[in-house]
Amino acid sequence: MDHGPVGGGGSDVGRVTSEHSVSDLLVVDDHPLMCDALSATLGFAFGLRKVRVASSLAAAVASIREEGVPDAVVLDLSLPDANGVEGVLALRRLVGDVPLAVISADLDPKLVSAAMGAGANGYVGKLLPRAKMVEAFSRIWAGERVLPEGCEPESLEEDEAMVLARGFASLTPQQMNILRLICQGRPNKIISYELSIAEATVKTHIAAIMTKINVRNRTQAALLASKARIFAR
């Protein structure tokens, strides 16, 4: 869905005059009111040419494949088909170095760490006043690493969730699908059926997953995925 040129952002938010390179923005959030508010506020503040919205990870991927890579992405972590930092991992693979900011009402430091480790450039609280929110996106789009108040960059670098999330970034989309099913307790035969691939192929992917994230068995893989907040908060 494309909201096109956007205007009107509220009297407390003026236009941003600093240099920025964002003209085409993709907002990924399953809450229609939040999408509308972000589209209007950021569109007006930055004079954006185009704001696309997607209500799921699948819709976001489709938008990127059909309309090209946007200049920036704003992503909620709670989506119908991706609840956790899986969305960050998936979209980072598609958009390259494009600024990708998480917007969430959940400011748990462990979740912030995991999102940043997965490839987010910033983490913005949904409850910020509009002017503060615009300032946060302006800084992210200017190349800064923006975190919620109280989150110290130095402490995040040593956090287990961030380190683990970085390790999962090397998984392919199919390996991520298999890992999700492993975390749901599915045996290889069921994974093979649900993904329409041979059971031998499932075993090959699982071996690759274990090598990439440095674990010895499925239980350890599921445990690390949970610690890294890949599929759930």
Among 159, 184, 212, the domain boundary falls at 159
Classify residue 223: in a domain, yes or no: yes
Domain span at 110:
24-159
Q: What is the CATH number of the domain that holds 88?
A: 3.40.50.2300
Classify residue 12: in a domain, yes or no: no
**Which residues are bridge partners to 101 per DSSP?**
74, 122
Among 133, 159, 185, the domain boundary falls at 159
pTM assigned to the model: 0.85
Q: Are residues 123 and 181 in the same domain?
A: no
Question: Which amino acid, 118?
Answer: A
Q: From first to last of its 233 residues, what are the pLDDT tens digits of the chain?
A: 555 444 444 445 555 544 558 999 999 999 999 999 999 999 999 999 999 999 999 999 999 999 999 999 999 999 999 989 999 999 999 999 999 999 999 998 889 999 999 999 999 999 999 999 999 999 999 999 999 987 776 666 667 888 888 889 999 999 999 999 999 999 999 999 999 999 999 999 999 999 999 999 999 999 999 989 998 65
Give the separation between CA 131 and CA 41, rounded to whole angstroms. 9
- Using alpha carbons, select from 103, 139, 140, 96 the residue that is nearest to residue 121: 140
Classify residue 16: in a domain, yes or no: no
Q: What is the CATH number of the domain that holds 180?
A: 1.10.10.10
Classify residue 13: in a domain, yes or no: no
Q: Are residues 112 and 217 in the same domain?
A: no
Domain count, the chain: 2
* Beta strands at 78-79 and 100-104: parallel, antiparallel or unpaired: unpaired
